[in-house]
Amino acid sequence: MSKFLNILLCKCPKCGKSDMFKFSSFNIFNFISMYPECSNCKVNFEPEPGFYLGAMYISYLVNSFIFLFTALMLTFYFEMSLAFTLCAMGLTAVLVLPYTLRLSRTIWLFIN
């Protein structure tokens, strides 16, 4: 499996076989719960306290692109009002937050 696909599926950065997260991203209360290590190759998913602080910047970047794309499409292509666009962006934020948090942690672990 390719690195890009492993990142999108939130798989182990070393072997790409086991999941990094315990629950689905649709599980509202536990979507960020991670396994401490890979069940296949035993790589540590939590190397040190505060390790995922840098993932916050990746999450900010990913969410910024999503919101910018949503706002531009709704405003200029579909010619929606500002109120509708802001409501749609709020709904988008709530819907994509669990996945973008997981994605940013996965990318951060792949980078380091």
Q: Which residues pair with 19 in a beta bridge?
A: 11
Q: pLDDT digit string (tens) for 4-61?
A: 999 999 999 999 999 999 998 888 888 899 999 999 999 999 999 999 999 999 999 9
- What confidence score (pLDDT) does residue 1 get? 60
Sign, Cα dihedral of 38, 25, 60, 79? positive
Entry field: residues in the chain: 112
Kindly tell me if the per-residue pLDDT of 112 is higher than 90: no
> What pTM was estimated for this model as a whole?
0.87
Band (pLDDT 50/70/90 cuts) for residue 107 is very high
